[in-house]
Amino acid sequence: MDVLLELLIKLLSLTVIMIFLIGLLFVMLISVVYIAGYVYDSIFGNSFISLGHFISGKYPKIKNIPIVVKLWRKIQPKELYLRYETPLFTYCFSYTAISLLALVLPNENGMGIIVASALYLLFYFVGMARKCGRNEQYYEIILDNNIEFLKLSFLPLGFIITVLGFCFTITGMKVQELPLDFAIIGNTYASLMNYNDETNTLMLFLKLIVSGGLILILFYVISLPIQVISYFVISVINYFRKHKAGYIGLSKKFLGIVAYFLKNI
């Protein structure tokens, strides 16, 4: 009976580990699938819909061809685009796609990852604008969704900074005086991972939780620069969407003045 129970516990542990690894692989690869959509949207947007309207206007009978009708239905705007509606995967797990981009790009002076990150954000925001920008209401919903997630994502960092700032103010301690010894953390983690008692199921679960937690924290930390830049970009987009009238009017006046002077030269 004890042997059967032990076997059952090990089987359960293995199942949990497999589910965790498959889930981790899924969230790591989803940004790769997403970026293919971003690139497609950046290049084509809704161009095929415009092309379809143009062709159907020239040749109305084409609307009656069954295969054309099926294709036309497939390229119609959707009510929901998951790649723009799930910013958790877009930002926190972005470096899987960014790393693949960096492998394709020339890496001169270590700038490959920076260029890849810039391209990732460029494809994301241009693709979003081209695919969803025509529907003002839906575009606003997506931007609000992104900005709300980023605010939520910054909360842990803001909490840590606030607590540290409070401690520094009360104690008068400086940053360089903090008793930080990362070797202790590394040694503790190494000791935990080197513990090989396979009969201790609790320890196996603890290893899984610690390893998974560290991986998720790592993904979060390395995605922070992307998140900060995205927050700025979305804030700029929202500002100009709400207050563009004055800037457009000023630009028209400036162009009118330039055109007047050019005519009189």
What tokens does 134 get? 């025509």
* C-alpha to C-alpha distance for 130 and 125, rounded to whole angstroms: 9
Contact 81, 166 (CB under 8 A): no
Tell me 108's DSSP state. Answer: S
pLDDT band of residue 184 (cuts 50, 70, 90) is very low
Pick the closest to residue 197 from 184, 210, 206, 188 (CA basis). Answer: 206
Q: Average pLDDT in the 107-116 region?
A: 78
Q: What is the mean pLDDT of the chain?
A: 77
Provide the residue ranges of all domains of the chain, joining segments of one domain with +. Answer: 2-263
Residue type at 115 in one-letter notation: V
What tokens does 32 get? 């790769």
Rank 4-8, 12-16, 139-143, 199-203 by mean pLDDT and report only the highest. Answer: 139-143
* C-alpha to C-alpha distance for 95 and 34, rounded to whole angstroms: 12
Per-residue model confidence (pLDDT) at position 127: 92
For residues 121 and 201, which has the higher predicted lDDT (pLDDT)? 121
Per-residue model confidence (pLDDT) at position 232: 95
Give the model confidence (pLDDT) of 39-72 as tens digits: 988 988 776 666 666 666 666 666 667 776 666 5
Length of the chain: 265
What tokens does 70 get? 């099926």
Q: 111 by DSSP, 3-state: which? A: coil
What tokens does 125 get? 């925001």
